[in-house]
Structure 1
Amino acid sequence: MLFIKRKAIASIVSNLITLANKAENKSLLVTSLSIKSLTLLGFGLVALPLVIALVFGASQVNTLAKKSTDAITDIAKVLDYQQLLKSNQIKMERSAAQYLVLRDPALAASYNEQSRQILNLSRQLIAASQDLKLQHLVTEYAKTITVLIETTMPEAELKTPTDRTIIKPIQVKFNALSTIYEQISQRSNELNTLNITKIEQAAQAVRDIMIQSLIIIPVSVLIAALFIFLIISPLKILTKSILRLQQGHFDHEIKVTGSPEIQEIALALENMRTRLQALELQKSSFIRHISHELKTPLAAIREGTELLYDNSVGVLNAEQQEISHIIKDSVFRLQKHIEDLLDFNIVLDSTSLQDSESMQINDVVYQVIADRKLDIKRKKIHFNNDLSDISLFSNRKQVAVIIDNILSNAIKYSPDEGIIDISSILVGENLQLFISDQGIGIDQANQEKIFDAFYQGPPPEQSLIKGSGLGLTIVKELLLRLNGNIEILNEHAQQGTKIQITLPRAFHQEEQV
């Protein structure tokens, strides 16, 4: 019986595992369900084996309780019948002894009544017991009682009360009856011990089955994990797609298989991606064209202004010289704005992110410094360089734009003959580039605002050029696309400004293969 139940449990577990494997192999079919249906299905499949285990365990416990109750009831009946047999046997023996002496008819009636009760108890004990040996002993006991009934009284009537020879045969018969009773009692005790052993074995079997049923728990956990994977997997894909959109990657098509709700979200994201891609291309195209159209006439205006300012076409009076100087500065400022627009166009152009290459960060920094040579000489800026030999796998043009914007701010806000410190370290696979100046610094309240588009902080003293407010916005956007970061490390504005730029995919130059 126990083997059959174990085999049934094994069959249930095997069927559940097969069901889980089929669900995993046909995940496309399952994931086509709605999230509500998928959740209900998963809950049902997780709860089903637990309910089966609970019902099966309750059935086994109920069976054990019933068997234990029946066994205890049988033991109690047998013990009760035994005690009644012993009690009536003692009374019967006493009545017989008293009758042999006193010859009182009432004692004879009591003797016969007790004999009938013993025979009745014997029949009940035989009916209550299912053990053949015990039934045989009780039958023999009843036969001995019957012999006593048939012989005791007739023999007593043939002899006088003073005849002592009649007592001994009766005592022998009662001794034989007591011997049979002892055998009944011994067999009853053996049966009780056997029943107790069977109950213990049945209880142990139930415990074993319940322990074996615990295998349903990992099966349920496996099914739950499978449905969690089926629900979360498309959500993770959607999250990655949203992060790509956040970083400006509009070239990857968003296509997710899953529940109807997930597919609706994916379709909405795909529509948004195509729209953003079209808008980005329009913006990039517009900025390129407008910048190109502005630079050509601006170059002519600048050259003409330079000729006027240098008195190449004739000497100008003081007022004309002042007006020419104003035009020259305005043209120079307009040219700087156009250059910022071109840099901002690099941010809008997501296709440029694909042009990654290996570069040495020292070369990029030195090139940016060389491009700013005139501004550096004009303000007599000194550089303290502590650059390590670190290579970086990224977009060279965008990294140069990031460093150039940070350095141009450092130069612009540094006092004459100021010092700019540049250093780099490698932390794991991340490059950390530090640029600090001795300028007016950035107030704590403005440290978050400076990255907003067109925000301009207090201008440096004696500044001839006003910024466009796009430089740090360009830096922040490019670092976001390159999975980098920028931080302002100084806490007090009076200490100047210290910037930390973090870029991934960096390594020491000697590690490059």
Structure 2
Amino acid sequence: MTPTHRWRAGSLRQLILLAFLLVVTPLGVLLLQASNELVEQARQGREQARLSLEISQRNLQLDVLAEDILRSARQYAILQRSDIRTRQQEQIGHYRNQLDIQSFLLRGNPVIPSLQDTLSLIEQAQNGEIGLPLLEQLALLTGELISESNRQLEQRLTELDRQARATQQALWLLAAILIAVSALLMLFFSLRISRPVSQLIGRIRALGHGQPQNTKPLRGPRELVDLNAQLDWLGDHLNELEEEKQRFLRHISHELKTPLSTLREGSDLMAEEVAGPLTDNQREIVELIQRNSFELQTLIEQLLDYNRLQQPGPLDVRSTSLDSCLNAALHPHKLLLEQKQIRLERPLKDAKWSTDRAMLHRILSNLISNAIYYGDEQGKLSVCYQIQDSQMHIDIGNIGPTIPAAEIDQIFKPFFQGKNRRRGPLKGSGIGLSVAHDAAVALGATLSLAHNADHKVVFRIMLPAVNDSHAT
């Protein structure tokens, strides 16, 4: 047995051409059938019109001949002239010829047999005297023949009209069938094109969002199959680049973190005056080293967090003290808060919520860092909790420049740097808010800009309810 293969058009151009031909063919058949029917109806109409005209003219001739025959008979009865008799005989012969033709055209006319019998009696009496009653009967029957022929013509016209309506209904039915066939063909070929195109669009979106690729083979025109193969290559290449990026981030973070830890330990020992007392100038230098090394460590931690969040692991959801998590996030920034003389406003009462502590700490730490570095000196850092619509809302705000409206849609994108610059000796990496946003997504929470006016910026974390959790 020979294996069967599913049919596939060789190229997109061939598929479109084939679709056009197959869709147009039923419409062409419909037009051809309609034109043939119209030609046939027109022919029948012309034939019926010609026949009606011929029958009407012959009826008029028969009526005139019947009157002439009756008039000649009356003249002969008075004048007894042979020429009148001869003319009457010619008129009767001509009437016979016209009646024979009319009997052929008007088959089934019930008056014609009576006319033919009456005419035979008249022809038999031509050698003798033709009675006027017989001729009057001929004129009367001629009138009946005209009426009956008109009725027959009306029947034929009615039949022709019925045939036209039947033909019209048949054409409508044929049109409906052929249009349905064309629609089905259009649907079939549109699916043959749109389905692989939709798959390609899905793959491109998945590539853009770094989602797993669908490796199902694509069926369709050759150009789309080739494009799918190019997307396969692009996906593999992007995966390789992503692995290289992850490897680079791990390596560079490790290489930076090791000497930084040594630098921080040395500066801490100097600040504690283990090596001896410090002058005021020396203490100021040591504090500068401590502050900048902490900022550098924060940047490195953000890079590591960004690297981890690209492939998040399982969550450890449990009842968490929000005050405890907030304290852990604020602790590394205490020195900077004191140096910038930023006033802290926080809830007076603790709250608990079922969530992943590590993820929430990552969000809070980056939002607090962002609020401190972009806030005004002698400003205010505010944190508040509230339950709304079965969700825990955590607002973190600062007094400082607002975010430009044109940048709001981009602030959560990795490495985005807005017009407002970070205040300090080190330039930000642009991934703090991105890390917080990705951590919120991994947590099933929502991070949004809640307020951005009047020289105040507030970000809101909306933690979802887990197993009907409630604040305590």
Specify the TM-score bucket, using the shorter chain as the normaliser.
0.7 to 0.9
Which amino acid letter does the alignment assign opposite residue 344 of structure 2? I
- Give CA-to-partner distance per residue, 1:369-416, whole Å, 9 cap, x none: 242132378555223599999989xx9966764554234323552755
Match of 2:457 in 1: 497
- Whether the 8 Å contact between 1:391 and 1:507 is mirrored in structure 2 is yes
1:250 and 1:277 in contact (8 A); partners too? no
Q: Which residue, out of 121, 124, 128, partners 1:147?
A: 124
C-alpha contact (below 8 Å) 1:436/1:496 kept by paired residues = no
CA contact (8 A) 2:379 2:400 kept: no
Change (3 A) 1:175 1:388: farther
Name which of 25, 30, 33 aligns with 1:53.
Answer: 30
> Aligned partner of 1:91: which letter?
D
Over residues 340-377 of structure 1, what are the superposed CA-to-partner deviations in whole Å (9 max), with x where a residue is unaligned? 21122235x3x43xx465958x9496665242132378
Secondary structure at 1:437 match in 2: strand
* Cα separation, 2, equivalents of 1:194 and 1:38: 54
Percentage of pairs with the same residue: 22
Shift in alpha-carbon separation, 1:464–1:80, aligned structure 2, 3 A: same
When residues 50 and 85 of structure 1 are mapped into structure 2, their CA distance, relative to the original with a 3 A threshold, is same
The separation in 2 between residues aligned to 1:116 and 1:50, in whole angstroms, is: 58
Displacement of 1:327 in angstroms is 2.1
Aligned letter for 1:442? T
Cα distance change on mapping 1:441 and 1:197 into 2, 3 Å = same
1:239 alignment partner AA: I
TM-score (norm 1): 0.75
Deviation readout 1:164-197 (Å, 9 max, x if unpaired): xxxxx62111133134324423542442233133
1:128 maps to amino acid: L
The alignment status of 1:82 with 2:59, answered yes or no, reads: yes
What secondary structure, in the 3-state scheme, does the structure 1 residue paired with 2:346 have? strand
- Matched letter for residue 453 of structure 1: F
Q: Which residue of 2 aligns with 1:372?
A: 329
Pair 1:391–1:222, CA change in 2 (3 A): farther
CA contact under 8 A between 2:37 and 2:167: conserved in structure 1? yes
Does 1:178 pair with 2:139? Answer: yes
- Letter of the 1:234 partner, please give it: P
The letter of the residue matching 2:430 is G
Q: Is the 8 A contact 1:436 1:499 kept in 2?
A: yes
Give the one of 329, 338, 345 matched to 1:382: 345
1:219 pairs with one of 181, 186, 194:
181
Q: Which of 60, 63, 71 matches 2:40?
A: 63
| Matched AA of 1:330 | N
CA–CA distance in structure 2, aligned partners of residues 303 and 401 of structure 1: 24
Q: 1:364 to 1:134 in 2, by over 3 A?
A: farther
Partner of 1:306: 268
Deviates more, 1:191-200 or 1:282-291: 191-200
Amino acid at match of 1:45: L
Q: Residue in 1 aligned with 2:168?
A: 207
Q: Relative to structure 1, is the Cα distance of residues 75 and 317 closer, same or farther in structure 2, using a 3 angstrom cutoff? A: same
CA contact (8 A) 1:99 1:108 kept: yes
SS at match of 1:82: helix
Match of 1:23 in 2: none
TM-score, structure 2 length as denominator? 0.81
Q: What code does the residue aligned with 1:81 have? A: R
- Return the alpha-carbon distance in structure 2 between the equivalents of residues 50 and 390 of structure 1: 68
* CA–CA separation in structure 1 for the residues paired with 2:49 and 2:406: 87
Indicate conservation of the 8 Å contact 1:386/1:424, yes or no. Answer: no
1:294 to 250, 256, 262: 256
SS of residue matched to 2:399: coil
Higher share in helix: 1
Q: 2:228 aligns with which of 252, 261, 266?
A: 266
RMSD: 3.9
**Paired residue type of 2:256:** L
After superposition, the Cα gap between the structure-2 partners of 1:460 and 1:42, relative to the gap in structure 1 and judged at 3 Å, is closer
Any conservation in 1 of the 2:321–2:350 contact (CA below 8 Å)? no
Counterpart of 1:192 in structure 2 is: 153
The structure-2 alpha-carbon separation of the partners of 1:39 and 1:252, relative to structure 1 and needing over 3 Å to count, comes to closer
- The answer for unaligned runs of 5 or more in structure 1 is 1-25, 156-168
* Equivalent residue, structure 1, for 2:366: 405
| Alignment pair present for 1:102 and 2:79 | yes
Decide which moves more: 280-289 or 213-222: 213-222
- Per the alignment, do residues 225 and 389 of structure 1 end up closer, same or farther by CA in structure 2, a change over 3 Å counting? farther
1:221 deviates by 1.4
How far the C-alpha of 1:84 sits from its partner, in A, is: 1.1
Going from structure 1 to structure 2, the CA distance change for 1:407 and 1:144 (only over 3 Å counts) comes to farther
Instruction: For residue 273 of structure 1, report the CA deviation from its aligned partner.
Output: 0.7
* Counterpart-to-counterpart distance in 2, 1:46 and 1:358: 59
Matched, 1:455 2:417: yes
Kindly state the Cα deviation for residue 231 of structure 1 after the two structures are TM-superposed: 0.7
Question: CA contact under 8 A between 2:392 and 2:465: conserved in structure 1?
Answer: no
Q: Determine which of 338, 363, 382 is the counterpart of 1:419.
A: 382
Amino acid aligned to 1:212: L
* Residue 230 of structure 1: how far off its partner (Å): 1.3
Task: Render the CA deviation track for 1:189-238: whole Å, top value 9, x for unaligned.
Answer: 44223313322321231132123221332232122112111110111111
Residue 329 in structure 1 maps to residue 291 in structure 2: yes
CA shift digits 1:312-340 (9 cap, x unpaired)? 12112334333322222222122112112
Assess if the C-alpha contact under 8 Å between 1:137 and 1:184 holds in 2.
Answer: no
Structure 2 CA distance, aligned partners of 1:107 and 1:386?
Answer: 141
Change (3 A) 1:358 1:246: farther
Residue in structure 2 matching 1:468, options 429, 442, 445: 429
CA distance in structure 1 between the aligned counterparts of 2:89 and 2:434, rounded to whole angstroms: 120
